Amino acid sequence: MLTIGDQFPSFNVQAVQGGPAGLKLDTAFVDITEKSDAGKWKVFFFWPKDFTFICPTEIVAFGKLKGEFADRDTVVYGASTDTEFVHLNWRLHHEDLKGLAIPMLADTKRELSEALGIISKSAGVALRATFIVDPDNVIRFVSVNDLDVGRNPQEVIRVLDGLQSDELCPCNWQKGEEFLKPAA
């Protein structure tokens, strides 16, 4: 699995756009690559399968925080190995996903998931992996959960705040709190 300090891999996938454009067949699909939103911080979070139980709770939670991520010059991408058509169908038929503001990447060929090393050996789907990638496409944070346990997007924001501060941040540090200062 790729980890801290590794370059995020090159990729080119279809995605269902976030927002209202993602709900119309003639505007739903867009290509996303590692060059999309160049110069911004990026959060990539992967889920195992569409039309499941835990996944929409995470997707909706990340979507609701899109503005907070945008305030930090950060773009959020959700992804699974399902096709863009499955993503679109799920958005159209899951009430909580209709208003989703973030794109849903379709890693159908599993090239990105495999390059990241996040395919579950037992289930053959993407693990619940989260990556924070800096503007130079360097991975700065990685977290992977078991397939049965959802993650906390607020923790991703907390870590992003710490990374963007370029300071020493103690355990449970929150934006606005004091940083650690090394002894002189």
Catalytic residues: 55
Distance CA 129, CA 137 (A): 17
Distance CA 152, CA 46 (A): 13
Sheet with 128-133, strands from edge to edge, namely: 29-33, 12-16, 104-106, 74-80, 41-46, 128-133, 139-145
- DSSP, res 17: P
Nearest partner of 13 among 44, 39, 41, 48, judged by Cα: 44
Nearest partner of 105 among 79, 74, 69, 135, judged by Cα: 79
